[in-house]
């Protein structure tokens, strides 16, 4: 019940295309859903996050879509660029009282020119 399932494992997108990464969860106590971006040899960086009281959050070219009833959320990268090539992790936490972020296994995104 603590798992966050992330797909696909890897993704190749052409420059200018839309990258979509999906995550699903079971624990209905989760109330905060961040996405992290990690470049090789670097620590993950917080990219964007959403709480379940909204269905969508947009920051620049990055959008999180959230479907509470389906217990799914996804990251959309619009106009994907080669510089977006990285590994993306979704995560979830039950918030107050919980110190643990549960991470998906990651998606390696490659944006080709």
Indicate the SS3 state at residue 108. Answer: strand
| Region from 19-27, 67-75, 77-85, 100-108 binding another protein, contact rule CB under 8 A | 100-108
Indicate whether 99 belongs to the interface with another protein (CB under 8 A). yes
CA distance linking residue 25 with residue 39, whole number of Å: 25
Q: Which of 21, 30, 34, 75 is the binder for another protein (CB under 8 A)?
A: 34
Count of residues near another protein by CB under 8 A: 23
**The Cα angle at residue 68 between residues 99 and 91, in degrees rounded to 5:** 35
At 45, which helix (H) or strand (E)? strand 45-50
Binding site for another protein (CB under 8 A): 32, 34, 36, 41-46, 49, 89, 93, 95-101, 103-106
């Amino acid at each position: 019940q603590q798992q966050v399932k992330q797909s696909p494992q890897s993704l190749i997108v052409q420059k200018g295309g839309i990258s979509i990464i999906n995550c699903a969860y079971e624990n209905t106590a989760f109330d905060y859903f961040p996405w992290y971006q990690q470049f090789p040899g670097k620590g993950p960086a917080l990219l964007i996050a959403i709480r379940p009281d909204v269905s969508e959050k947009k920051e620049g070219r990055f959008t999180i879509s959230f479907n509470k009833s389906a217990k799914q959320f996804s990251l959309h990268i619009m106009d994907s660029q080669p510089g977006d090539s990285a590994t993306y992790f979704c995560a979830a936490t039950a918030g107050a009282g919980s110190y643990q972020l549960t991470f998906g296994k990651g998606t390696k995104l490659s944006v080709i020119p």
